Amino acid sequence: DTGVSQDPRHKITKRGQNVTFRCDPISEHNRLYWYRQTLGQGPEFLTYFQNEAQLEKSRLLSDRFSAERPKGSFSTLEIQRTEQGDSAMYLCASSLAGGGGETQYFGPGTRLLVL
Amino acid sequence: AQTVTQSQPEMSVQEAETVTLSCTYDTSESDYYLFWYKQPPSRQMILVIRQEAYKQQNATENRFSVNFQKAAKSFSLKISDSQLGDAAMYFCAYIYSGAGSYQLTFGKGTKLSVIP
């Protein structure tokens, strides 16, 4: 059973560029989450998918951010016109629907640095 | 809004000793779950222990146990017989178990160092 994987693990970009991250959840998991973690802070929720439907979005997810989960499998998170404040670790997690409170399994994250 | 507070930014413990990490939370809900996650340096976050709020019995996982005080909204983690591999950031997290809410709310974390 492979865990959650994320690609790339590291990304350095210049301000104003677009970046896209990919997350592959645990194969049987139908729920997928994106979080952002800045230095010295705990992860903060960005968005959540059940199968291919995006059901919840945080106010942190500005118009420059878009997430998709086509066919309910892998997910992508795109940031357009990156800003220095976007520099953070972007974490993906997945879970198997079980009535709420089920454990979310995290990937290794993508560390983004915007110069 | 729910909040999770970890008042100890850093802790240290001698190898083989016991350490307790503190966590308090604020919620108006009665049904929820609490978690402790471990994040080793440059490695992914893994679940340490999970507690269901409706269960009075404290959860345990081998050397890890919690002291869950629902009325006080306190959820501390005790690590017994500390090992070098326990060195990591530890995050306390809360999730409401009602329909439509699946986001974890995390504390800021406690950095645990284990001294040989």
- Summarize the confidence of residues B45-60 as an average pLDDT: 92
For the residues B40-52, what does the mean pLDDT come to? 92
Confidence band of A97 (pLDDT split at 50, 70, 90): confident
Query: Does the pLDDT of residue A1 top 60, yes or no?
Result: no
Name the residue among B35, B37, B103 with its Cβ closest to that of A48. B103
Asked if A40 lies within 8 A of B100 by C-beta distance, the reply is no
Give the C-alpha separation, B75 to B95, whole Å: 13
CB contact under 8 A, B105 and A45: yes
Closest CA to B90 of B22, B42, B25, B18: B22
Write down the pLDDT at residue A61: 87
**CA-based nearest distance B46→chain A, Å:** 7
Could you tell me if A57 and A34 are in contact, meaning their C-beta atoms sit under 8 angstroms apart?
A: no
Query: For residue range B81-107, what is the model confidence (pLDDT) as tens digits?
Result: 999 999 999 999 999 887 777 889 999
> Among A1-5, A16-20, A93-97, B43-47, which stretch is predicted with the lowest mean pLDDT?
A1-5
Structure confidence at residue B55 (pLDDT): 87
Please, are residues A19 and A11 in contact by the beta-carbon 8 Å criterion? yes
- B116 CB-side CA count, 13 A: 1
Please give the full DSSP string across A57-69, using - where no structure is assigned: E-TTS-TTEEEE-
Whether the predicted pLDDT of A62 surpasses 70: yes
**pLDDT digits 0-9 by tens, A25-59:** 999 899 999 999 999 899 999 999 999 999 989 98
Over range B40-44, report the average pLDDT: 86
Rg for chain A, CA atoms, rounded: 13
Contact B45 A106 (CB under 8 A): yes
Return the bridge partners of B24, or none: B5, B74
Report the distance separating Cα A26 and Cα A86, nearest Å: 27
Mutant choice from A106, A110, A111 vs B, greatest count of B C-beta within 10 A: A106
Strand A10-13 relative to strand A65-68: parallel, antiparallel, unpaired?
unpaired
Q: What average pLDDT does the structure give for chain A? A: 93
B107 part of contact set with chain A, CB < 8 Å: yes
Residue-level pLDDT at B56: 83
Residue A69 clears pLDDT 90, i.e. is over it = yes
CB A93 within 8 A of CB B106: no
DSSP assignment of B35-103 equals EEEEE-TTS--EEEEEEETT--SPPEETTEEEEEETTTTEEEEEE-S--GGG-EEEEEEEEE-STT---
* Contact (Cβ atoms closer than 8 angstroms) between residue B88 and residue B41: yes
Q: What are phi and psi of A53, to 5 degrees?
A: -90, 130
